[in-house]
Chain A
Amino acid sequence: MNISEIITLWSENRGLSLLIWTVLLVTAMYLARTSAHQSIAAAMRSLRAVMRMTATSLLALEQRMTKRNKQVILQAGQESTELAIEREFQRVNVIVERDLSGYPAAQRTMTDLIERIESDYQASNETPPSPPEWLAAVDTISRIDKGNDSTVGQVLQSIQETIETSHEETIKAYRKSSLERLQVLKKMLPSWRGLSKTVTSVSTAVTDLGERSQLIDKLMDKYERIRRKDDQVARMLASSSLTQFFIAGLVLVIAMLGGVINYQLIALPMSEMVGGVSEIGGWRTADIAAMVIILVEVAMGLFLLESLRITHLFPIVSSMDDRMRGRMVVVTLTILTILAGIEASLAYMRDLLALDREALAQSLSGVTATNVEFRWIPSIGQMIMGFVLPFALAFVAIPLESFIHASRTTIGLVSTSVVRMLAYVARIAGQLLYQAGRIMIHLYDMVIFLPLSVEQYLHRQKAAGDVDDSEDAIISSEDTVGGIKP
């Protein structure tokens, strides 16, 4: 029986049949009104309760996740701060060992220099030879009035000359003495410079040490705050982690682009080695081989940086003894170099193949082949790229490590936000369903408005004497529609 047959069940006249259906339906709905209202209200209340419970559970989950995230962030921050403090102490150790360990020697040097300067200074203090003591008496005599006596004049003249001669000798001796003192002072100059240099060196070391100690103080302060599980520092670390996530992600994208370029460089010539036709799982074997080479290079780079303790992705590598790590560095570097060499040769082969193809294309199109000048430049460029890119890709381990560490925090933060949003959505949905239930009850009454109106009219007629009761009844029926209070 199809819908059309059901509609025309009561009469061939579609309108009349529909009218009968409507009357029957409205009557049935009127009779089942109370039950229907209660059912709708109960169903919506249940749904709202379920949604609220879901929201509460989600919020509890969100709080647990937030707590866990905070723990993770603080743990990561604690580890990185510990590492930073350790590194600073190592630097301080280096400064102390390098600069301040030589302090006794520097002090001895300074003492020696000071002693030498002292003796030189003493030497430069030697008094110049003084003029003879009788010179004052002779000077007085030479100033006596000569009068007219020529003999006396000659004597005084002689005394005058003696005084002048003596004066000249004294000046000469003084100059000589000054020159000697200057020589002594000149000898002091390297000692002064040496002293100044030693003092500067000690001063630099001490200043550097002071800066390091300030930095250690800051790091220790941060470390203490992390230990105290300070909220501010947790927020700061989360923000830093997000920044790290995006920066590392950006660098990884750049590295991927580098990988794509590298792939393009070696995919074509790789078909010379593994054939240009065979496929594995729908992919050209040559393409897979090129991809594998690039991935092996990345893996070697990962192990190399791990062996150098630059990254810490594999604890087993970090915990190896130094000798074994050293061997691992040599092995990975050798493999990386060999792969880089292979890539360089493949890049060269790519150029040859391209030339060959170009020549064929020209031959097939009837164009005379021409020799292009400086054709060797792109060849060399491709070879260099082929050699350098594997080493550049090797460094992808550093952003990869940062990305992995930061993604832990970032995923936690995003998950928390999603859970919080879901809780919000569940709460809103519950409320919407509850309100939808009320609307449905009103719509139900709208459909059966005719019998309801009749009922109300009859009620009013029956209880015409008791106005208050009647009003209460109306208010009651309006206020509690289907058992749900507005």
Chain B
Amino acid sequence: MKIYHIVSTLILCTGLLACADRAPNTKAVYMLIDTSGTYTRELDKAQKIGNYLLGTLNSGDSLAMARIDSGSFSEKDIISKVTFDMRPSMATTQKHQFKRQLDEFVAAAKPSAHTDISGGMLQAAEFLNETQAQQKYILIFSDLEEDLVRGHIRDFTMPLVQIRVVALNVTKLRSDNIDPRDYLKRLDEWEKRVYEGGGQWKVVNDLDRLGKLLDG
């Protein structure tokens, strides 16, 4: 009789544990870093954002960083990617490792000839959808001035459903100072493309307000 009691208790406990599901509020962040032209000088800011993300994201969250170069729709542009382990100690170790890779990239980054932002976003969307996270973010650290290699086709609707795109540190170009409408037009065009793809758009230029970066 006691055996039956123990077995039934074990079954009950197993059932209870089976109810344990993956947290619905996991986040996945893909950060694109522009390395074109003079933007390599802004990399310390990207590093700061990366550090902030490492300090903010928790177990179960995913983080990836990739550079934007001449052809960004490629896995080789990914600097580092990780899904943090369920155990906090392991997650901390992964963060240390991620930081090391980011530091190495910043130290050795070289400017690229062209700027394929759309390709990077496509790669990011692919990664984010694979994570199956509840909240998906693409952070674009760029001036949003796309400069494609001749022959590259990017003028199509991007699959950005349920993805929040945040443009960071969108610097004003020299031409923007002459005619600020160029800057505004650039932002509007990207906003339009993101909304067309089913995503959401936000611009954060003040890096002292990173606290609002991953707000719902």
Contacts and interface: CB of A to CB of B under 8 A. Distances in A.
A binds B: yes
A285 B88 contact: no
B27 to A, nearest CB: 11
B19 A280 contact: yes
Contact of B88 (A271, A278, A280, A363): A271
A173 to B, nearest CB: 93
B20 A279 contact: yes
B20 A276 contact: no
B86 interface: yes
Contact of A364 (B20, B26, B54): B54
B131 to A, nearest CB: 13
A94 B114 CA distance: 98
A159 B58 CA distance: 126
B99 A364 contact: yes
Given A353-B89, A356-B89, A357-B92, A271 B19 contact: no
A280 B99 contact: no
A357 B59 CA distance: 13
B95 interface: yes
A271 B22 contact: no
B69 to A, nearest CB: 26
Contact of B89 (A272, A278, A364): A272
Contacts of A268: 88
B200 interface: no
Contact of B55 (A280, A281, A361): A361
Interface in B79-108: 86-89, 91-92, 95-96, 99
B57 to A, nearest CB: 12
A352 interface: yes
A280 B92 contact: no
Contacts of A129: none
B24 interface: yes
Contacts of B19: 280-281
Interface string B7-33: 000000000100111111010000000
B59 A275 contact: yes
A360 interface: yes
A179 to B, nearest CB: 84
A365 interface: yes
A271 B55 contact: no
B51 interface: yes
Interface of A: 268, 271-272, 275-281, 284-285, 352-353, 356-357, 360-361, 363-365
15 contacts: A268-B88, A271-B86, A271-B87, A272-B87, A272-B88, A275-B59, A276-B58, A276-B60, A276-B87, A277-B60, A278-B20, A281-B19, A353-B92, A360-B92, A365-B51
